[in-house]
Amino acid sequence: MAKRVVPEERRRRRRPTRGGVVLSERLIVETALRLLREHGSAGLTARRLGLALDCDPSTLYRYFRGMDDLTLAIGDALIGQALEGWHRTGRWRHDLRALGLRIHAAYVSHPQAAVLTASRVSGRADELAADEAVLDVLRTAGFPPADTVRVYQAFIDTTLAFAALDAASLALPDAARRADEDMWRSTYARLPATTHPRIAETAPLLAARMVESAYPTVLDMLLSSAERELADLAVRGAEPGPPSR
């Protein structure tokens, strides 16, 4: 049976830990992010968290129903980081591009946490705020509801998919990551044109490009496609979205 989470108001009345630390959800999530960065997903346990926070591991269950609940909170925290400093300008394509890049950057800045959380749906406050913002940007731009949802799905799934892919690469041991990156210069660059003409033709470009994330390029392609669809909707006189603010 899942453990009951103690309401926030009652948690605040708890005494400090042995080390004088007053626990909070935020402190636990920040400590979990540090442990993930230092030890990977295998190092994120209630016991290790308790040691890091100088508290009994059972105390953590006053804040989270279990380690999976904590995992969802970590993912929500990454989205919260992306939302910090993001402001709408009223230019829908610019605003979505900026938010997408911020979400991707927040995840890859914590690669071990991203691998653990990018595929999860938390239903927590920051995730809901980001979803509401994206949907509202699209509706305000003039996309009908069905198209809004379709573009939203493509936008958020592409963003999180690339976050997971790029984070997985960054989470590799340094030697493995360097070996993968060097493969474009060692193996690919040496293939003869007689057997692999297109690879040989583009080898220098591949070596320079393939070690970088394709997310910004794919994001621009996605938004360009959506922009063309919005123009076509206007020409066909499809259901308009709400008036611009």
71-126 residue pLDDT tens? 999 999 999 999 999 999 999 999 999 999 999 999 999 999 999 999 999 999 99
The distance from CA 139 to its chain's CA centroid, rounded to whole angstroms, is 23
Looking at the predicted structure, is the pLDDT value of residue 13 above 50? no
Q: What tens digit of pLDDT does each residue of 116-172 get?
A: 999 999 999 999 999 999 999 999 999 999 999 999 999 999 999 999 999 999 998
Max intra-chain CA distance, the chain: 74
Query: Distance between CA atoms of 13 and 10, rounded to whole angstroms?
Result: 5
Which residues make Cβ contacts (< 8 Å) with residue 97, sequence separation at least 6? Answer: 219, 220, 223
Residue with tokens 């959380």: 117
- Report residue 86 as tokens: 């993001």
Query: Distance between CA atoms of 219 and 213, rounded to whole angstroms?
Result: 11
Q: Which pLDDT score, from 0 to 100, does residue 79 have?
A: 97
* Nearest residue to 190 via CA among 206, 178, 174, 210: 206
DSSP at 29: H
Looking at the predicted structure, is the pLDDT value of residue 240 above 60? no
Looking at the predicted structure, is the pLDDT value of residue 244 above 70? no
Residue with tokens 């573009």: 151
* Nearest residue to 118 via CA among 157, 164, 79, 80: 164
User: What is residue 53's three-state secondary structure?
Assistant: helix
Q: What tens digit of pLDDT does each residue of 23-50 get?
A: 999 999 999 999 999 988 888 999 999 9
